[in-house]
Amino acid sequence: MENGPVNVAEFERLAAEKLERGPWDYFAGGAGDEVTLRENVSAWGRWRLRPRVLNDVREVSTAAEVLGGPVAMPVLVAPVAYQRMAHPDGEAAMAAGAAAAGTAMCLSTLSTTRPADVAAAAPQGRHWFQLYAFRDEGVTRALMEEAIEAGFEAVLVTADAPPGGNRERDRRNRFTLPRELGTPSLTAAVGGGRALSIEDTFALMDHALTWADVEDLASACSVPVLVKGVLTAEDAELALDHGAAGVVVSNHGGRQLDRSVATAEALPEIADALAGRATLLVDGGIRRGVDVATALALGADAVLVGRPALWGLAAAGGEGVAAVLELLREELGLTLALCGCTAPSQLSRSHLRRAPAASVYSV
């Protein structure tokens, strides 16, 4: 985007201008007092870099490999529900933007576009599917199979919901989905004709999900299964014990359990527990290339961004998504070079130290 925003915060302001109050609060808000929502962002700022100098950094690449495939940057698009409420082209534009930036997109179960249409909008792109488990196992399987048939390469089972978090902005606004908006794959799997409200949808989900169910899903699934929403070393170990190919360190962008640990704080113990045995992803509060570099140095293979990509989508459709991702890629490339690294894999804990308490900033 020529003369467009120069950072994610400026995209956020553009999105705020474009969206009505209800959708804006649904997308931007978190649970309870929004402590975790804020801390996700500020916790990355509790680390400082220990750059190494006088390494030849003429040729810096941000390219990486995630789940056996290449990406132009270790920054992927997180699953976000109801994207046609942000932009009329919704998930199709999100996928096109991610593919244009050379990275993968994870589609939400609560997508307003069917997986095959998302794949058709970005045939060169890499697509993953986020799965919510439903009480009716047939619904869960139908959703998963539809995505795999459309060429989706991995399934991320979300473990930190249901129940849905206490989103007070939505309650205050009496927020409901626009009438014309539906989740066509879910509606088809449920076998009903009418669009489902957010409350109806959460009520249909399986509140009794356990590690044994993850194991069943992983063994029934022809593509790798990752568990999204892990915040402790104990659960990361259990995920691997039950057949997961990896975990996503996530607190759902602060939308579920308020005062759950910020992901930048949870990541080190999980990286230590996994010790490179499985794919390790993290999301929550990533707004700068330096946040990405910090996550990689702490041991993540890649990060996901939820709201930043959403702000790009709301501001300028697929082009906006690509522009946000490209900004993060450029910032990461510059951070790598200034740290004396020529590739993301060269970052390690030796590049980090804790910020002095008095200098912790809050964005």
Instruction: Please identify, using beta-carbon distances, which residue of 62 and 111 lies nearer to ligand FMN.
Output: 111
Residue-wise over 23-40: b if at least 16 C-beta within 10 A, else e? Answer: bbbbbbbbbbebebbbbb
- Indicate whether 83 belongs to the interface with ligand FMN (CB under 6 A): no
CB closer to ligand FMN, 128 vs 341: 128
Q: Give the nearer residue to ligand FMN in terms of CB position, either 79 or 224.
A: 79
Interface residue with ligand FMN among 127, 242, 252, 351 (CB under 6 A) is 252
CB 265 within 8 A of CB 43: yes
Q: State how far the alpha carbon of 71 is from the alpha carbons of 106, 121, 287, 295, 302, in Å.
A: 13, 18, 19, 17, 10
| Contacts (CB under 6 A) with ligand FMN, residues 90-149 | 108, 110, 130
CB–CB of 318/12 below 8 Å?
no
Helix H or strand E encompassing 303: strand 302-305
Distance from C-alpha of 245 to C-alpha of 146, rounded to nearest angstrom: 21
Q: Is 79 in the site for ligand FMN (CB under 6 A)?
A: yes
Residues 159-218 that bind ligand FMN (CB under 6 A): none
Residue whose CB is less far from ligand FMN, 60 or 168: 168
Residue from 307, 316, 332, 351 in contact with ligand FMN (CB under 6 A): 307
Q: How far apart are CA 300 and CA 45, in angstroms?
A: 17
What the block records as the tokens of 64 is 């990486």
- In the list 246, 285, 289, 317, the residue contacting ligand FMN (rule: CB under 6 A) is 285
Q: Which of the residues 87, 242, 252, 351 is marked catalytic?
A: 252
Instruction: Tell me how far, at minimum, the Cβ of 286 lies from ligand FMN, in Å.
Output: 6
What is the C-alpha to C-alpha distance for residues 183 and 123, in angstroms, rounded to an integer? 22
Smallest separation (angstroms) from ligand FMN to the CB of 107 = 9
Question: Does 328 sit near ligand FMN (CB under 6 A)?
Answer: no
Is 351 catalytic? The answer is no
Cβ within 8 Å of residue 40, ≥6 positions away: 251, 253, 254, 262, 263, 264, 284, 285
Please give the residue ranges that form the binding site for ligand FMN (CB under 6 A). Answer: 27, 40, 78-81, 108, 110, 130, 158, 228, 250, 252-253, 255, 283-286, 305-307
Q: Which residues are catalytic?
A: 252
